Structure 1
Amino acid sequence: MSATTLSPDRPSIPWPWLTRGGRFSWTRMLVLISAFAPGLVLLWLLESGQLGAEPWKAAAKESGTWAIRFLLISLAVTPLRHVADWPKALTFRRMLGLVALGYAVLHLLMYAGHMAWDLPEIASEILLRFYLTLGFLVLLGLVVLGVTSTDGWQARLGRRWKVLHRAVYGLAAAGIFHQFLQAKSRADGAVLMAGVFLFLMAWRALPGRWRASPPALAGLAVLAAIGAALVEFAWYGLSSNLPAARILAANLDPGAGLRPAQLVLVMGLVVAVLPWVTRIRLPRRA
C-alpha cells in the first residue's frame, strides 16, 4: 500500500498463497488465514446475535480497530525484515496492506448496517460528523493506495509511485486519531496504537547501522512508551474531565494494572531482543 505496505512483488502473484515462482507457500497461507480469522469470527458473532444490544455498531467498531491494526502490522514489515534478518518478510507487505483495506471496507459496511442501510442518512452523517468524515477520507486514501499497488501502476507512475504511497503514514496517523475520537473516555486501545506508530516512525528515522542494534531499539522502546504516556495525558486533559495527571502517574504505579504505555515498552523491548535471537539462530542453521 506504500513503499512500506503494498510494495509490489515481481512478477505479480495471481493468488496470495503462491510465491513469486508460483509455488504453494504454507507461510503465506497461514498469514492469510490469520488475517481473515478476526473478520470471520466477527461476522459469526454478528450472525449469532452475540454482539450486544447494538450488534452492527459493535461490529463496525471492531472491524475499524482491525483495519488500523493490520495497517500498523503492514508498516512493521520493513522493520521486521531488518531486526529479524528476514528478507522474505517483505513479500507480505502488499497482502497485509490489502487486508487493512478490506477491514476498512468492512468497517463502512457494518456502519451502514447500523444505520439500517439508509444511504442518504449515512451520507449526511459522514458529512456532518468530523470523526466520520475523517474515517471516510482514510478509507478513500486506502482505496487509492490499494488500486495503485499493482506492478502496472508502479510502472505508470514511476518515481511518483513512492511519493504517493508514502501517504500511508499520514493515513495511519489519521486512522489512529479517528480511533481516539470514537473512543472518547476509553482510549486505551488508541493510545496503544499511537505508541506502536511512534515506535515504527522513530525506527525509520534511525541511521541504517542502528536499525538492528538492540541498544538503539531498546532506546526507541523507552521513547515510544514515554510518547504514548504523553499522548494519553494530552488526550484526557483536552477531551474529558478525567484527571489526566493521575492517569499519567498510573504508568508508574504497579498496582494500577498494565497501562498502554507500559505495553508499548514491553513490545519494544521484545523487538530489541530479536537481533540477538537471530544471531544465535543463524549459526545453528549453518
Structure 2
Amino acid sequence: MTGRTVRPLPWLDRAGRLSPLKLAVFLACLAPALYLAGAYRLDALGAKPITALIHATGEWTVRFLLASLAVSLLRRIGDWPRVLLVRRMLGVTALAYALAHLALYVVDQNFVLTKVVSEIVLRLYLTIGFVALVGLIALGATSTDAAIRNLGPNWHRLHRLVYTIAVLGLAHYFLQSKIDVSDPVFWTGLFLLLMGWRVMRRFKWPERPWSLLLLAAGAALLTAGLEAAWYGLASGVPASLVLGANLDFSGPIRPAWWVLAVGLSLPVLALLRGPRARASGTARPAPVATRRAPQNVPQNVPLSPRA
C-alpha cells in the first residue's frame, strides 16, 4: 500500500513500531475488565455480582473519560507531547466500559427490553446516563481518521460535547450513589480541576507554579462546597457539619483533600518542566507547515519533532 499507514494493533504507532506508552496504556485499559471478569468467575463480588459489575463498569467509564480529558493538561503542563498518542484509546475505552455498563443492566433486568426502556424513560438518573451514553457513542463513531477528514471543522464542534457528556456522566454517578457520594465528589472535583485549567487557557492566564497552586486550592474548595451542598440538599445535613468534617482527620480523608493532592502535582510538574523548556527554547524546530512530511505519513497527522 502507498500513501497510507495501517495500524492493526493498538500498541503500535503510525509507523507500525511498538510504542511502549501505547502498550502500557492499552494494558491499563484492559486491566479493570480482566480483574472484574476474574472476580466474577471466583464469586468474589458479593451477594449481587451483576449489580457490583454494573457499578464498577460505570465507575471505570467516568475514570477513563476524565483520563482522556487530562491528556491535554499533561501535554501542556508536563511538556509531554507524545501523550496525545493515547487520547483516542482512552476515549474509546470509556465508551467500551459504558456499553458494558448498559449491557449488564439489561442482564440484570433479565433481558426484558421493554422494562429496560421504561426504566430509562421513567427514572431521571437512568435517562441522564443513557443520554451520556448516546453522546459517547457519537464521539466514538467519529473518532477515526476518516471521520476527522470528512467532518472537517464540524468534528471539533461535535467533540466539544465531551464536556457536556462528562457533566451528565457525573450527575448520573451522583444520583445512583444515593447515600455515600464520596467517590462522585472526588471525581467531580478532578473534573473541576481540569475545567479550571481550561479556563486558564481560554483567557490566556499564566501557567506558572503559583497560578497552578491557586487552581489546586480553588478546585479543592469547590469540591468541599459541592459535597456540603449535596448532603444539605439530599439529606438535610447542615453544610457546616460537612465542611467541618474536612478538618477532622480522625476519620476518612474527605474528597477535597484528595483533589488538592492531585492538584498540587500541577505546580510540581510546572517546576520540573521549566528548566527543560528554557534549555530547549533556543533550539525550537521549525513549524510543521514549513517542513516536508515523509511520504508514508498521512498529511492530516501532525508530526512530533520527538517522533
TM-score (norm 2): 0.85
Q: Spell out the pairing of 1:178-257 with structure 2 (5 A cutoff).
A: 178-207=172-201, 210=205, 212-257=207-252
2:102 is equivalent to residue 108 of structure 1: yes
Question: What is the deviation of 1:241?
Answer: 3.3
Cα deviation, 1:192-213, whole Å, max 9, x if unaligned, reads 0111001101101114765642
Distance 2:187 2:195 in 1: 12
SS in 1 for 2:179: coil
CA-atom RMSD in angstroms: 2.1
Mark the CA change 1:115 to 1:211 in structure 2 (over 3 Å): closer, same or farther.
farther
| Letter of the 2:253 counterpart | L
Question: What is the deviation of 1:257?
Answer: 3.1
SS in 2 for 1:186: coil
SS in 2 for 1:14: coil
| Letter of the 1:111 counterpart | Y
Cα deviation, 1:227-270, whole Å, max 9, x if unaligned, reads 11111111111111334321111112333431001110011002
Structure with higher helix content: 1
CA contact (8 A) 1:82 1:211 kept: no
Unpaired segments ≥5 residues, structure 1: 1-9
SS in 2 for 1:76: helix
What corresponds to 2:73 in structure 1? Answer: 79
Question: What is the deviation of 1:40?
Answer: 1.2
CA contact (8 A) 1:195 1:264 kept: yes
Alignment identity in percent?
44
CA contact (8 A) 1:78 1:90 kept: yes
| Letter of the 2:221 counterpart | I
What corresponds to 2:285 in structure 1? Answer: none
What corresponds to 2:264 in structure 1? Answer: 269
Q: Which moved more, 1:38-47 or 1:135-144?
A: 38-47
What corresponds to 1:156 in structure 2? Answer: 150
Counterpart among 166, 171, 176 of residue 170 in structure 2: 176
What corresponds to 1:258 in structure 2? Answer: 253
| Letter of the 2:170 counterpart | I
Mark the CA change 1:247 to 1:279 in structure 2 (over 3 Å): closer, same or farther.
same
Cα deviation, 1:168-214, whole Å, max 9, x if unaligned, reads 00000110010000111100000001110011011011147656421
Distance 1:116 1:47 in 2: 20
Q: Which moved more, 1:239-248 or 1:195-204?
A: 239-248
2:74 is equivalent to residue 99 of structure 1: no
Mark the CA change 1:274 to 1:23 in structure 2 (over 3 Å): closer, same or farther.
same
Mark the CA change 1:178 to 1:264 in structure 2 (over 3 Å): closer, same or farther.
same
Unpaired segments ≥5 residues, structure 2: 281-307
What corresponds to 1:7 in structure 2? Answer: none
Q: Which moved more, 1:207-216 or 1:121-130?
A: 207-216
What corresponds to 2:56 in structure 1? Answer: 62
Distance 1:105 1:133 in 2: 15
CA contact (8 A) 1:199 1:220 kept: yes
TM-score (norm 1): 0.91
2:82 is equivalent to residue 88 of structure 1: yes
CA contact (8 A) 1:67 1:103 kept: yes
Question: What is the deviation of 1:117?
Answer: 2.0
CA contact (8 A) 1:176 1:190 kept: yes
Distance 1:97 1:115 in 2: 28
Any runs of at least 4 consecutive aligned residues in structure 1 with deviations exceeding 2 A, and if so which? 10-15, 207-212, 241-245, 252-257, 277-285
| Letter of the 1:255 counterpart | S
Cα deviation, 1:32-58, whole Å, max 9, x if unaligned, reads 001110111112112221111111011
2:27 is equivalent to residue 33 of structure 1: yes
Which structure has the larger Rg? 2
| Letter of the 2:65 counterpart | L
What corresponds to 2:17 in structure 1? Answer: 23
Mark the CA change 1:79 to 1:190 in structure 2 (over 3 Å): closer, same or farther.
same
Question: What is the deviation of 1:274?
Answer: 1.0
SS in 1 for 2:267: helix
| Letter of the 2:241 counterpart | R
Distance 1:51 1:257 in 2: 23
| Letter of the 2:232 counterpart | G
